[in-house]
């Protein structure tokens, strides 16, 4: 076999049409072997003799796409000094563009066994672990272009590749649960009709199913257990795992783009699947443990701010390079449109504390590729000082956990929530205005993959996670949920009607709040997980979306109402402002009314004491569309587009007075006490001074005719 010196960059395996360049970083290695794996179980070892700046490299003519390979690293195995080299382990390439196979947990892949250090003479692990794959980078993207949806027009739909598609009746069985299913017209049609602009996929980086879950007959369904930051998860491919997963993922992105839908990836750069010191040696640990991981004072162990056993070392230039290379690869080669960063506070831990000016954010800010896509932070981790909502740099948007909590509290009747609810409804200026960000920095959500579904939020007071096998100890215990009078399934007509109304309240509040709304997949159908608020290991019908059957009236009504709310938001810019409200008339307009005004149910302007009243659970909000002075989507000036939002979160019906001097005539466009929610344009007319009776825990939206 010919072996040429090759190049130290780019890292990983790079096919050029005639052969493949291999390059891998390790500061601790004494010698590295590239192992080419053959279908008969044999392997050919090639020593990487060339080294530049701790990168070993070689070029092998004739090595083609589909070739499986791995590395064996010879070096010190001294856990007390943080070194864990072991040439018996066939290691994945940290830059592998595709990964083949799964782990055989019955064989020797652990770092420690029964509390003792692993032997350097463990059995050959090649047949029992995953392997890296050389991929063909060439793909017919046709005329693919990113939709580049502005934040003020964005509606995010959080979905799981398998969960969204496994039960869809119109999909061929052989593609259900795969990237190909995402590209199917039935799925794309649902998203476009719903009004979704942006599909946020739960982790599709190659991940590992934990040994404990496999032994228990379960799987790591969510996928927050990454081992390959460049490789699409191979189990989501319908055609094979020797590079076909790359082609299938690219095809899905291309087809979604053709429909005008962006693709955002939920990414996990805070830790890896190798876990704690008791976990498996699969990749980074065996290549250069101390360079990749944040080690504890005793270097046998790891500092863990993620709750997973380890944290990547965010002050290591090689870790930062890997993350940035990965992000750029997914944008430039896979054409994704942005990222949601899991436990993003860990990325800011350059040393111990969370530092909003850490090196990672500096690199993102100056990167000409990554800085131009959507960047969404989950602004917390489990470490000390990890809750950082509102504290990320101006380039970033954030999952607004305070929006979720406040909206849940309002509708379940918690006292003293009205003032904070006003802030959350209008874009959370208290969190984002001081650093120059706008309402669009707030990614608003009521539910997501982690926690109760929308139906379970109104059906359960307590979590019911027994199916996870942890005696119901896992998952959040404080859910800010309310079961509407009965725990779980119920046949009580009043309870069921209230639950349906509460779901409409949550959806309407989400869609009519300033910021960027995010729906969780299946909530438009009212899916349930039977009270399980931590379905991370439930790769089954409990967690999959149950697509409705024809004639299911309740499901169809909720789906139609959700779609109406999404389109009401998209059709009226006053619900998706680029700037915060000022509470005064806008200069340069002829309208003397303030851009926003707050009223009590009696139609009187809210006073300071009204906001502070502990039991206050009702208010009216005037949104002045004619005061919007910014240009529309196509450069035109926005005309009159004004609304009154009436919220009754009280447990009894209340009379609301339509405020005077803010519009003579109004039309009811939303009424959540009605099963269908009232379609826009079909509601009754009211005039200023009229009294409207709002049912307990309901919401009415009035539109002022232009």
> pLDDT tens-digit profile of 406-420?
999 999 999 989 999
266, exposed or middle or buried, with CB in 10 Å at 0-12, 13-18, 19+? buried
Partnered with residue 686 across adjacent β-strands are 666
Contact 408, 475 (CB under 8 A): no
Q: Which of 121-135, 534-548, 671-685 has the highest mean pLDDT?
A: 534-548
- For residue 119, pLDDT over 80 is answered with no
Distances (CA, A) of 191 to 307, 516, 553, 562, 687: 34, 17, 20, 12, 37
Burial of 382 by CB count in 10 Å (0-12 exposed, 13-18 middle, 19+ buried)? Answer: middle
The answer to whether the CB of 71 falls within 8 A of the CB of 91 is yes
Q: Report yes or no: 654 and 614 within 8 Å, Cβ to Cβ.
A: no
CB 400, CB 442: distance < 8 Å: yes
Alpha helix locations (H) across 413-552? 418-425, 429-432, 454-457, 493-511
pLDDT at 628: 64
Q: Of 344, 324, 332, 472, which Cα lies nearest the Cα of 401? A: 344
CA distances, 89 to each of 73, 124, 130, 210, 461 (Å): 8, 7, 11, 18, 48
Pick from 524, 544, 427, 475: nearest CA to 169: 544
Q: What is the CATH number of the domain that holds 698?
A: 2.60.40.1180
- Determine, yes or no, domain membership for 611: yes
Residue 664's pLDDT band (boundaries 50, 70, 90)?
very high
- Res 458: pLDDT: 98
Outline where 34-84 has alpha helix (H).
none
The pLDDT, as a whole number, for residue 587 is: 66
User: For residue 695, is it within any domain?
Assistant: yes
Q: What is the mean pLDDT of residues 350-356?
A: 57
408 belongs to a structural domain:
no
Instruction: Clarify whether 378 is annotated catalytic.
Output: yes
The terminus-to-terminus CA distance of the chain in angstroms comes to 77
Of the listed 33, 200, 274, 342, which one is catalytic?
A: 342
Contact 427, 438 (CB under 8 A): yes
Q: How far apart are CA 249 and CA 226, in angstroms?
A: 17
- Pairing outcome for strands 665-671 and 685-687: antiparallel
Strands 55-61 and 19-25: antiparallel
Residue 640 designated active-site: no
Q: What is the rounded CA–CA span in Å between residue 43 and residue 69?
A: 9
Residue 494 and residue 485 in contact, taking contact as beta carbons nearer than 8 Å: yes
pLDDT digits (tens, 9 = 90+) for 177-194: 999 999 999 999 999 999
Q: What percent of the chain has pLDDT over 90?
A: 82
Q: In terms of Cα–Cα distance, which of 351, 515, 532, 548 is closest to 455?
A: 532
Closest CA to 303 of 393, 386, 359: 386
pLDDT at 122: 44
Residue 354 lies in a domain: no
CA distances from 221 to 77, 165, 215, 216 (A): 34, 14, 15, 13
User: Is residue 631 a part of any domain in this protein?
Assistant: yes
- For residues 594 and 578, give the distance between their C-alpha atoms in angstroms, rounded to a whole number: 17
The answer to whether residue 189 sits within a structural domain is no
- Among left, alpha and beta (phi > 0; psi -120 to 50; other), residue 472 is left
Pick from 316, 324, 445, 423: which is nearest to 378 by CA?
A: 445
Q: Using CA atoms, how far apart are residues 25 and 33, in angstroms rounded to an integer?
A: 12
190 in a structural domain: no
Among 685, 513, 683, 698, which residue's Cα sits nearest to residue 596?
513
Question: Among 158-167, 353-362, 424-433, 503-512, which stretch is predicted with the lowest mean pLDDT?
Answer: 353-362
Specify if 681 maps to a domain: yes
Cβ neighbour number for residue 641 with a 10 Å cutoff: 20
pLDDT tens-place string over residues 64-78? 999 999 999 999 999
The answer to whether 191 and 274 are in contact (CB under 8 A) is no
Domain count, the chain: 1
Catalytic member of 118, 274, 378, 456: 378
Residue 644's domain spans which residues?
A: 579-704
């Amino acid at each position: 076999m010919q072996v040429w010196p090759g190049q130290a960059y780019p890292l990983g395996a790079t096919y050029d049409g005639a052969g493949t360049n291999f390059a891998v970083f390790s500061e601790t290695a004494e010698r590295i072997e590239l192992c080419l794996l053959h279908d008969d179980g044999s392997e050919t070892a090639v020593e990487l003799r060339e080294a530049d700046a701790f990168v070993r490299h070689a070029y092998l003519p004739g090595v083609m796409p589909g070739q499986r390979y791995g590395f064996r690293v010879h070096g010190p195995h001294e856990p007390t000094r943080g070194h864990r080299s072991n040439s018996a382990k066939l290691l994945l390439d940290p830059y592998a563009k595709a990964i083949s196979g799964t782990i055989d947990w019955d064989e020797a892949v652990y770092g420690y066994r029964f509390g003792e250090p692993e032997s350097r003479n463990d059995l050959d692990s090649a047949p029992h672990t995953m392997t890296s794959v050389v991929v063909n980078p060439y793909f017919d993207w046709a005329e693919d272009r990113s939709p580049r949806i502005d934040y003020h027009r964005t509606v995010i739909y959080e979905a799981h590749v398998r969960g969204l598609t496994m039960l869809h009746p119109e999909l061929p069985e052989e593609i259900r649960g795969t990237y190909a299913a995402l590209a199917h017209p039935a799925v794309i049609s649902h998203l476009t009709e719903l009004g979704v602009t942006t599909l946020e996929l739960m982790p599709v980086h190659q991940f590992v199913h934990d040994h404990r879950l496999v032994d228990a007959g379960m799987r790591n369904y969510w996928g927050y257990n990454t081992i390959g930051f460049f490789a699409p998860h191979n189990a989501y491919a319908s055609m094979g795992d020797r590079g076909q997963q790359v082609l299938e993922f690219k095809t899905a992105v291309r087809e979604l783009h053709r429909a005008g839908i962006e693709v955002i990836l939920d990414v996990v750069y805070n830790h890896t699947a190798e876990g704690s010191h008791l976990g498996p040696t699969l990749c980074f640990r065996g290549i250069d443990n101390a360079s990749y991981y944040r080690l504890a004072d005793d270097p046998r162990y790891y500092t863990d701010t993620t709750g997973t056993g380890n944290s990547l070392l965010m002050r290591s230039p090689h870790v930062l390079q890997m993350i940035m290379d990965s992000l750029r690869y997914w944008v430039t080669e896979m054409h994704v449109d942005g990222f949601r960063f899991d436990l993003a506070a860990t990325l800011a831990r350059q040393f111990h504390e969370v530092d909003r000016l850490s090196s990672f954010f500096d690199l993102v800010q100056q990167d000409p590729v990554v800085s131009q896509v959507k960047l969404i932070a989950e602004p917390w981790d489990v470490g000390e000082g990890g809750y950082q909502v509102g504290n990320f740099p101006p380039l970033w948007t954030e999952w607004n956990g305070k929006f979720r909590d406040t909206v849940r509290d309002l509708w379940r009747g918690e006292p003293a929530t009205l003032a904070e609810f006003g802030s959350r409804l209008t874009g959370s200026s208290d969190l984002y205005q001081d650093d120059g960000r706008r309402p669009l920095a707030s990614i608003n959500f009521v539910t997501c993959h982690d926690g109760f579904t929308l139906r379970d939020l109104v059906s359960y007071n307590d979590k019911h996670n027994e199916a996870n096998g942890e005696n119901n100890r896992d998952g959040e215990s404080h859910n800010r949920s309310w079961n509407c009078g009965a725990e779980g399934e119920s046949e009580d007509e009043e309870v069921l009607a209230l639950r349906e109304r509460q779901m409409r309240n949550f959806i309407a509040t989400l869609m009519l709040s300033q910021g960027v709304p995010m729906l969780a997949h299946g909530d438009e159908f009212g899916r349930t997980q039977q009270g399980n608020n931590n379905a991370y290991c439930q790769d089954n019908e409990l967690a999959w979306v149950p697509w409705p059957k024809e004639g299911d009236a309740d499901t169809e009504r909720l789906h139609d109402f959700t779609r109406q709310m999404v389109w009401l938001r998209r059709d009226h810019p006053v619900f998706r402002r680029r700037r915060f409200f000022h509470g005064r008339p806008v200069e340069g307009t002829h309208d003397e009314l303030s851009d926003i005004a707050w009223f009590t149910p009696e139609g009187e302007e809210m006073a300071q004491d009204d906001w502070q009243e502990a039991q206050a659970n009702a208010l009216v909000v005037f949104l002045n569309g004619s005061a919007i002075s910014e240009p529309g989507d196509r450069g035109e000036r926005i005309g009159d587009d004004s609304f009154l939002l009436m919220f009754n979160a009280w447990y009894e019906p209340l009379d609301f007075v339509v405020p005077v001097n803010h519009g003579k005539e109004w039309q009811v466009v939303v009424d959540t006490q009605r099963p269908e929610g009232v379609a826009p344009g079909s509601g009754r007319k009211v005039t200023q001074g009229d009294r409207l009776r709002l049912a307990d825990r309901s919401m009415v939206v009035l539109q002022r005719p232009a």
